[in-house]
Structure formats: structure tokens, C-alpha cells
Structure 1
């Protein structure tokens, strides 16, 4: 099964990061916005998909910094080494804290938009979903 990266397609920063990964990281994963994914079929709740980027592979679902780490490991050299460092026990808590900090401030990041700061249900693209 091809790994799947599920991200927030309403967030400009998230979309920009995924586009960077598609151009530069060269992973086997297929990226899909959670808004276009069949979350039930994937075994993922909407709440979790709204909260963090997800990596689905081999029957496992990893989120946040661990999802990013797995994407990097999957990409092979030179990215693999960075992914392994991120998921290592000593670095994992720091990586999770940095991920949460970035996630909370994604509307301030390059490519971020004011919509990134809104709860998912209040974003302009949310109209017509549900």
C-alpha cells in the first residue's frame, strides 16, 4: 500500500509545505487534504485530521511530528537521517513541542493566511462541506 499523507487543505502554510515535499523530498506517499479524504474508510476521525498532519502506512496512523518524521524516513537519503533523528526518543518530545508551536502559529508562517487561524468549521472553504 502506498503511504498516505493527510493534511489540512484549507491551510495555506500546510499546503505550501506539502507542495515543497512533493517537489524536494520525493517520498512514495500520496498527499491528500483531509477535506477530500474518506476519513471513515481511513480509520481517522475528523477531529484528529483537523488537529495534525497524518501519516498512514502499514496499518498505522501517526500524527504531528512523527508523521513528518516518517515522511522523511520514507524519502530516503539525505532526508532519512533527519527523520530518524526526529523520531528518536531524546528528540521526539522536542519535535512534538516544535510541531505544536508551528501548528498554533501557522497563520503567521510563510504561505499562511488568516483562514489558518480560524477553527476549521469557520473557514471560508468549510461552507458546503458537512
Structure 2
């Protein structure tokens, strides 16, 4: 599955505009939106998976990397640095965010409301969950 989402970019000499909507760019109805920002240099966000939640992440400002750890332990790194690119993370995807630039803002769009029970915070538990 291709996790990259190319969002529309409407060019205008007064400033460009990008949007997203269900079902054209986002493969689920959005139920929650949150953002991470002011992440100190060298810090890592995430380090978990969700049992059911799906998520789309967009770099609204600055840049950061989304690192996905695959079932075999290998990693895939996606650099988000343009507000017209997004990354789709289906359920049961282990991820963390790192390499935040100064003033980076990560926008997260979710298909569900917050639930602490949906988090998987141990990679071994995720591997067993996927069996």
C-alpha cells in the first residue's frame, strides 16, 4: 500500500492553498484533529501503534520524519516537509516522529475519538497482536 498522499495545491500569486477532504484525499471520515509543536531538538514523539485508529499526518510548518517499524523490525522513514504532502498510517502501524525542525507543526487527522485502550505501547505486543 502506498502511504503517501499527494494533496491538491492550488497556485495563486497571493499565496497557495491546499485542502483535504473525505473521501478524495483522506480514506476515512475525520473524527479528531490534533497537532504537535514546540518539540525540543532531539526529542521523539509517538513510539506506539493503534489497534483500530487510522491517521493521516501533514507537516503544516517546518519538517520532521515519520519512522514506521515494520513487523520484521526494519524501518521505513518518510520525511514530511511540504504542506501538500501527507502520510496515511493504517491501524496496527508502529510509528514514531523525530528530526523535528525549528517551528515544526505536525497535523494529525484521526478516524476516531481518543481512547487510551486503543494504544499499543510495546512493539512485542504489536507483533503478537498481528499473529
TM-score, scaled to structure 2: 0.26
Larger relative strand fraction: 2
TM-score, scaled to structure 1: 0.26
Mark the structure with the bigger radius of gyration.
2
